[in-house]
Amino acid sequence: MNFAYLKDSAKANLTGQWGAAIGILLLNGIVQSVPSLFVQFSENYRLLLISYAASLALLPLQVGYIRFFLVLAQGGPAEVGDLFYSFQGGRYGRTLGTLLLMSVIILMWFIFIITIPIAIIKSFAYAMTPYILADEDYSHLSGMDVLRESEGMMDGRKMDFFVLGLSFIGWYLVVIITCGLAAFYVTPYVSQTMAQFYLEAKGTPVAPKAPPQDVFNEGPRTDAFYE
């Protein structure tokens, strides 16, 4: 898998969409943080339980967030409102149930497998689950079938997924150095790259809508760059 091409395709697909990408990043952060406010400032156990329940209820937001970048990767127009994709069209129950089932299975891997690295690798098998839930091509699948589909996509690609994630370490350091300001660039960039990875794993890669350019807009890459 050509990581350089995935990343350049991600930047090309984000061209003209950075405002919306940052907007959905901020909106997701704001909505997700609301339940945690009760945890930090409340000593009432009932409110704490309500807060934890609300956090679980908001899990499907991650699918909507991914949906935004998946639509961009497929060359379509994405909107900030895609964040609430899972709360529309009767998708909520299936989405929440699948995410909870995935979490339970991954937790069981960590409980019953003594070697943590092996458990982490096994958990990679379900990395494509939220992407499949965000993909209307798989809207007919049940929760368990979604997990099986993710396993199939990640068969032989777990190391690629791990290495791709590892390749962003330098950018994460930049986020730390800039006290989080660089996250407004890095987070959408990583999210878009992972959406491109999903399409490759699915077997339906889509060419970027514009010639790949680097972050400093120095012009199109040469063919040698992809070798």
For 103-123, how does the pLDDT look when each residue is reduced to its tens digit (9 = 90+)?
Answer: 998 888 888 776 777 778 878
Q: Is residue 221 part of a domain?
A: no
Reported confidence tier of residue 41, pLDDT bands at 50, 70, 90:
low
Residues in CB range of 59: below 8 A, 6 or more apart: 95, 96, 99, 100
Q: Is residue 218 part of a domain?
A: no
Q: Is residue 144 part of a domain?
A: yes
Query: By residue range, what is the domain housing residue 33?
Result: 3-203
Reported confidence tier of residue 49, pLDDT bands at 50, 70, 90:
confident
- Categorise residue 117: left if φ over 0, alpha if ψ from -120 to 50, beta otherwise: alpha
Read off the pLDDT of residues 125-176 as tens digits, 9 standing for 90 and up.
999 999 999 999 999 999 999 999 999 999 999 999 999 999 999 999 999 9
Q: What pLDDT is recorded for position 219?
A: 44
Read off the pLDDT of residues 4-23 as tens digits, 9 standing for 90 and up.
999 999 999 999 999 999 99
In the chain, the amino acid numbered 1 is M
Q: Which of 64, 57, 55 is nearest to 27 (CA)?
A: 64
Q: Is residue 79 part of a domain?
A: yes
Q: Is residue 58 part of a domain?
A: yes
Q: What pLDDT is recorded for position 226?
A: 34
Q: Is residue 222 part of a domain?
A: no
220 by DSSP, 3-state: which?
Answer: strand
Q: Is residue 217 part of a domain?
A: no
Quote the number of domains for the chain: 1
Residue 207 has pLDDT above 70, yes or no: no
Residues in CB range of 47: below 8 A, 6 or more apart: 38
| 128 contacts 201 by C-beta, under 8 angstroms | yes
Cα separation of 37 and 46, whole Å? 14
Helix (H) or strand (E) segment spanning residue 208: none
What mean pLDDT value characterizes the chain?
Answer: 87
Q: Whole-model pTM?
A: 0.85
Q: Is residue 215 part of a domain?
A: no
